[in-house]
Amino acid sequence: MSILDIRGLTVEFPSRKENFTASRNVSLSVDAGKILGVVGESGAGKSTVGNAVIGLLESPGRIAEGEIHLDGKRIDNLAAENMRKLRGKRIGMIFQDPLTSLDPLQTIEFQLIETIRLHLPLSRAQARAHAVDLLDQVGIPDPEERIAQYPHQFSGGMRQRVVIALALCADPEVVIADEPTTALDVSIQAQILKLMKRLCEEKNVAMVVITHDMGVIADLTDHVAVMYRGDLVEYGESKQVLGTPKHPYTQSLIAAVPRPDVKVHRFPQVDYIEGSAKPFKQIDISTHWLGKVRDYKSVDGPLLDVKDITMKFLTRDAWISRNRRYFSALDKVSFDIYAGETFGLVGESGSGKSTMARVITGLYHPAGGTAHFAGQDLTSLKDKKQVLAMRRQMQMIFQDPFSSLNSRMRVRDIVAEPIKFHKLASTNSEVSQIVDDLLEHVGLGVAAATRFPHEFSGGQRQRISIARALATRPRFLVCDEPTSALDVSIQAQILNLLKDLQDELGLTMLFISHDLAVIRQMCNRTGVMRNGQLLEVADTEELFANPVHAYTKELLSLMPGMEGLYRQNLEEELS
Amino acid sequence: MFGFITRRIAMALVVMFVVALISFLLFRFVGDPVNQMVGIETTPEQREALRQRLGLNDPVLTQFLRYVLGAIRFDFGNSYQFKQPVADLIGRRLPATLELSFASAVFALLLGVPMGVYTGLNRDAWLSKLLLSVSLAGISLPTFFIGILFIFFFSVTLQWLPSFGRGEVVTLGSFWDTGFLTISGLKAIILPAITLGLYQMTLIMRLIRAEMLEVMRTDHIRFARARGLPNRSVYYIHALKNTMVPVITITGLQLGSIIAFAIITETVFQWPGMGILFLHAVQNVDIPIMAAYLLLTAFIFVCINLIVDILYVVIDPRLRTERSRT
């Protein structure tokens, strides 16, 4: 008998124009001690299912059809007050972002005791003892001491442990985890996944894990449900679904995941995924403005030569210099990038990889060291003219496609701005012709020019960013986590686009990512960073085959495992 | 915490010093004080004698030093119009203004906060819409107009409340006249306090509403709900406290302006406070009063800012930077 049983769930969001159906006829069930994964891309309706189970559908969403049963009793038609009493007591929930899931103004102790005493008949002292015990169970060191602290005094991974403790504090039968590890670094992610698996077994909890990450599904779940645009397209044992997917969408989804084990030239794209087949006209780069006037002098040796770059941030100011405290973001980092190659920087958050990008593009001024670009020292550019000339050669693509475009400007103006600023075209009609061509070339189409950024999806916005970056005819692109905010299918498209552009224009790229699989597919050579230090630089294939540094080995071993899945594929291909 | 407060007080002292300088320059260079004090028939010799007696011939630095030392001892010289010490004049008027400001601030907070919470949580309720539109009227009509309307309705037509003055006052200690202890005093403060506090009430309500809408969307509120917390604790323990930092900033500054700029309300209701004193001082170029008023206003703002800064730290643990991150 399943603990949680969802039958034919249809959730609608009525609006004035039409009813939007977020999930359609979804039936799932979970047993005690088992983990069910719900996987899909944004807009698939996977979070809606979780929210419906715990009774927290956002207004005006409502369950139009179907039933939800908890331990044999129907719960979807309970009155709001009775449903509230179930929450936290019988159904726990874990959210995505541990940094914002806790009330920043109350201590951990207050939040734990508040929740425990709400659900369990314990005195304040007993509740506190229980809270300390819980923190110990989720692996927080010195729980006695740390319980009195505020959320901001914990790191991201530790906060997610606190969130898990809060979700488990009344021993619920079902726990719903909505993207529990998406906001965490890979090493922390591995720890949290292990913790969830252990707690699920120890406490015999039925767990529903909602995620977009196939690696998490492969590592953690017993069963998996694949959702696409509100429909449940495939449902079964994880091993079977991942190994021999039946539905074309599942197949395309799995194919789009960058493979950590083999280098392929292009990311597989399957037509099932929206927007992959775009019949836009491709401009002939060799004769076009974009490829024609590339007046950069060629260089012998590396295009970019970074030597002993050091960067410090002031963490505590004082009048006496001795009392000032610094955070060392970059500690004598040296590497070089040759023309035409893609150099990867990989590391966890806080490792200094984004800081490096900003030093190279001149957004930060380093405390020490030199960086030569085409023989010119970036750290000692004299006048504005030199700076501008350098900026024209280097462009940057940022991580967040939502905040990196000015929402008050039309796409045409966004892309035209660098052309006009650097005076790269003589007439307005020429500029708008170039903008149109660029938009076509990155796969957006001319029609995009008159629209505003908010009308586009994340992947389309990233294409706008790329068009804007190309508009100065750069020879060097800095991509700072260009796809980490995107779904895997969109990620595949964007990465393919970057590869194509590199081939056509001979671009040199610095590619920054925390995702080893993406790095493997994109980069010729890769450097591994941690705590501001560059630990190891090697050819990417060599790095994956024979990592030298212990930390590199650790990172590689922590990649959420798709190995089992691929091995199975391989066996089938062989047999 | 201690280091933080001392640093803030040091900054406050710098601000006060600069204000003292401005107020001194006002005293020294706006018009000739002697001309204001004497009649036209005074001889040049008498003027020079007066000038000498007032120390106006001393070097500027000496004069400034004397002025600052005096200000520290609440000695702002004599008023030109009343020929009395400015400190006495202000001291007699200050309680009236402070009581009025206090009453209107209490009114603004007691009504504004719950109304803001209500409209923030029930944004589609008809009462929310009513409160919002009525408050819009409150914020767009000028204070003097509302005051006159109030007088017309409640004093002239209905004859419930007095239209001017403070009513009977009781003297506490040596100089503090309070209107809070007599019926007529309490009745007299109602209309001016509401008139003065209406704008602040609207502001606080709208601010809290906006902040509540913002906070209710955050993850930690969703997580609080997912933990099964009842609405009461979600709203008042987790949501309201998180709206407080901007609310305290604005409320603090507004309280300062209530005290400093009660002039219009005091004029409409003939409230015997500092506002009227200041208005007369401006009309009669009574520079010592203006200078002292400037200093006092600055002092009040500096104090309120200091309290606001301390409250931030009390409310938001993230601002307690001394303790290091673990």
> What are the tens digits of pLDDT across the range B305-317?
888 888 888 888 8
A78 touches B at CB < 8 Å: no
CA–CA distances in Å: residue A86 to residues A75, A81, A210, A360:
9, 9, 20, 54
Q: What is the share, in percent, of chain A residues with pLDDT greater than 70?
A: 91
What does the alpha-carbon distance between residue A339 and residue A475 come to, in Å, rounded to a whole number? 9
- In this structure, are strands A508-513 and A342-346 parallel, antiparallel, or unpaired? parallel
- Compute the nearest-CA separation of A52 from chain B (Å): 12
Q: What is the share, in percent, of chain A residues with pLDDT greater than 90?
A: 22
Contact at CB, B228 and A115, closer than 8 angstroms: yes
B220 touches A at CB < 8 Å: yes
Q: Residue A565: how many CB atoms within 10 A of its CB?
A: 23
Considering only CB atoms, B226 lies closest to which of A54, A96, A146, namely: A54
pLDDT of residue A564: 46
With CA atoms as reference, the chain B residue closest to A141 would be B326
pLDDT of residue A561: 54
Instruction: Please report where in the chains the tokens 């963490």 appear, as a residue.
Output: A315
pLDDT of residue B258: 81
Q: What is the pLDDT of residues A112-165, one digit of tens each?
A: 999 999 999 999 999 999 999 999 988 888 888 889 888 888 888 888 889 999
Contact at CB, A102 and B223, closer than 8 angstroms: yes
Task: Compute φ and ψ for A262, nearest 5 degrees.
Answer: -130, 145
| Residue A140 neighbours by CB under 8 Å, 6+ apart | A146, A158, A161, A162, A165
Give residue A6's region: left, alpha or beta (phi > 0; psi -120 to 50): beta
Flag whether pLDDT at A323 surpasses 80: no
pLDDT of residue A573: 45
Q: Residue B57: how many CB atoms within 10 A of its CB?
A: 10
> Looking at A433-442, B104-113, B266-275, which range is the least confident one?
B266-275
pLDDT of residue B128: 87
What does the alpha-carbon distance between residue B289 and residue B294 come to, in Å, rounded to a whole number? 8
pLDDT of residue A575: 43
What does the alpha-carbon distance between residue A87 and residue B97 come to, in Å, rounded to a whole number? 52
- Compute the nearest-CA separation of A86 from chain B (Å): 7
Cα torsion angle, A244, A246, A250, A251, sign = positive
Flag whether pLDDT at A208 surpasses 90: yes
Chain B residue numbers touching A166 (CB-CB < 8 A): 223, 227
B122, B214, B220, B311: best mutation site toward chain A, by most A Cβ within 10 Å?
B220
Contact at CB, B228 and A163, closer than 8 angstroms: no
Contact at CB, A84 and B316, closer than 8 angstroms: no
Q: What's CA A64's distance to the chain center, in Å? A: 32
Average pLDDT over residues B204-221: 89
Flag whether pLDDT at A35 surpasses 90: yes
Q: What mean pLDDT is reported for chain A?
A: 84
pLDDT of residue B47: 81
pLDDT band at B6 (very low <50, low <70, confident <90, very high): confident
DSSP string covering A80-112: HHHHHHHBTTTEEEE-S-TTTSS-TTS-HHHHH
pLDDT band at A295 (very low <50, low <70, confident <90, very high): low
pLDDT of residue A344: 92
Angle at A311 between CA A298 and CA A544, to 5 degrees: 65
Average pLDDT over residues A182-198: 84
Give residue A473's region: left, alpha or beta (phi > 0; psi -120 to 50): left
pLDDT of residue B261: 67
A87, A105, A108: best mutation site toward chain B, by most B Cβ within 10 Å?
A105
- Between A564 and A337, where is the model more confident? A337
pLDDT of residue B61: 82
Query: Quick one: A397 exposed, middle or buried, by C-beta within 10 A (0-12, 13-18, 19+)?
Result: buried
pLDDT band at A529 (very low <50, low <70, confident <90, very high): very high
Q: Which two tokens stand for residue B144?
A: 């003097």
Task: Compute φ and ψ for A122, nearest 5 degrees.
Answer: -120, 150
Q: Which two tokens stand for residue A398?
A: 């940022």
> Looking at A48-57, A68-77, B78-87, which range is the least confident one?
B78-87
> Looking at A348-357, B118-127, B173-182, B250-259, which range is the least confident one?
B173-182
A235 touches B at CB < 8 Å: no
Flag whether pLDDT at B38 surpasses 60: yes
> Looking at A323-332, A432-441, B159-168, B243-252, which range is the least confident one?
B159-168
- Compute the nearest-CA separation of A558 from chain B (Å): 25
pLDDT of residue A287: 66
Average pLDDT over residues B130-135: 86
Q: Which two tokens stand for residue B202?
A: 């609207």
pLDDT of residue B323: 42
pLDDT of residue A27: 92
CA–CA distances in Å: residue A177 to residues A159, A233, A375, B284:
15, 21, 52, 73
Flag whether pLDDT at A402 surpasses 90: no
Flag whether pLDDT at B322 surpasses 60: no
pLDDT of residue A568: 46
> Looking at A238-247, A467-476, B185-194, which range is the least confident one?
B185-194
Flag whether pLDDT at B23 surpasses 50: yes
What does the alpha-carbon distance between residue A168 and residue A184 come to, in Å, rounded to a whole number? 20
CB B8 within 8 A of CB B290: no
What does the alpha-carbon distance between residue A147 and residue A280 come to, in Å, rounded to a whole number? 58
Average pLDDT over residues A14-35: 86
pLDDT band at A286 (very low <50, low <70, confident <90, very high): low
Considering only CB atoms, B325 lies closest to which of A103, A118, A153, namely: A153
Angle between helix axes B183-216 and B244-260 (nearest 10 degrees) is 150
Considering only CB atoms, B238 lies closest to which of A103, A166, A167, namely: A103
B223 touches A at CB < 8 Å: yes
- Between A400 and A416, where is the model more confident? A416
Flag whether pLDDT at A574 surpasses 50: no
Contact at CB, A87 and B226, closer than 8 angstroms: yes
What does the alpha-carbon distance between residue A544 and residue A479 come to, in Å, rounded to a whole number? 21
Flag whether pLDDT at A1 surpasses 70: no
Chain B residue numbers touching A158 (CB-CB < 8 A): none
